[in-house]
Amino acid sequence: MNMISVHDIPKVLLFHPPSMSDLAERIAKRSPAVQLGKLRWERRQGELDHMEVLEPYKVKGSIVMFLTDFDTPSSIIQQFSIMTKLPRLGPAVFKILSPCFPSLTLRGEGGEKGSGKKGEVYTTTTLARLISSIPKAKSGPTEIVIWDIHHLQERFYFEDDVIARLENSMELLVARLDEEVDRNMYS
């Protein structure tokens, strides 16, 4: 039996799909409170991926985050599988970090004039329903943090079991550009 020390449990445990490895590693390097969660993610030809949460004991009681990559529709089901498993391992808090949430045009979603066509399938709504079915963590509903959302009405696509928090990264971009300008002016 493995003995677990309080020091073995990270303050924040960040999981991610293989496509987000570079960004996740940069986040972990910048913040000493963040430790990368370990997943086994094996591709199998003609089958669904085989995935496993490694060191699941670290999840219990931790703040757990999952950094998504919804740019590739083929990986959404695999990411969803991990996102539904993590809350079942007992984290204190579970958050989904989404740098981009796929959306359709306003017209396609019924937008300004309610011009959606009968029979159209809105994938944004479907994805929000999937995420809304993710189990709760110990402290309550899953929170999804979405940066630079294109349509504010998307926050209403999520059901009550998920808290949608919309963020804007424009301030971060402007601050970073200011740093670059300052660095170039004084070098």
Segment 99-124 shows an average pLDDT of 57
* Average pLDDT estimate for 111-124: 59
Cβ neighbours of residue 74 under 8 Å, at least 6 residues apart?
A: none
Length of the chain: 187
% pLDDT > 70, the chain: 72
Question: How much is the average pLDDT of 62-79?
Answer: 87
pLDDT of res. 111: 44
Structural tokens at position 33: 């409170």
Angle, nearest 10°, between helix axes 76-85 and 123-132? 20
Predicted confidence (pLDDT) at residue 96 exceeds the cutoff of 80: yes
pLDDT of residue 153: 59
Average pLDDT over residues 88-116: 68
Q: How deeply is 171 buried, as exposed, middle or buried, from its count of CB atoms within 10 A (0-12, 13-18, 19+)?
A: exposed
What confidence score (pLDDT) does residue 152 get? 58
pLDDT (tens digit, 9 = 90+) per residue, 16-53? Answer: 999 999 999 999 999 889 999 999 988 777 666 788 99
Check residue 2 and give its pLDDT: 60
Radius of gyration of the chain (CA): 19
Taking only the tens place, the pLDDT of each residue in 146-163 is 876 555 555 667 777 888
Residue 49's pLDDT is: 74
> Which one has a higher pLDDT value, 112 or 173?
173
Alpha carbon dihedral 108, 110, 113, 115, in 10-degree steps, equals 70
Assess whether pLDDT exceeds 80 at residue 141: yes
3-state secondary structure of 144: strand
Cβ pair 39, 54 in contact under 8 A: yes
* 162: amino acid identity, one letter: V
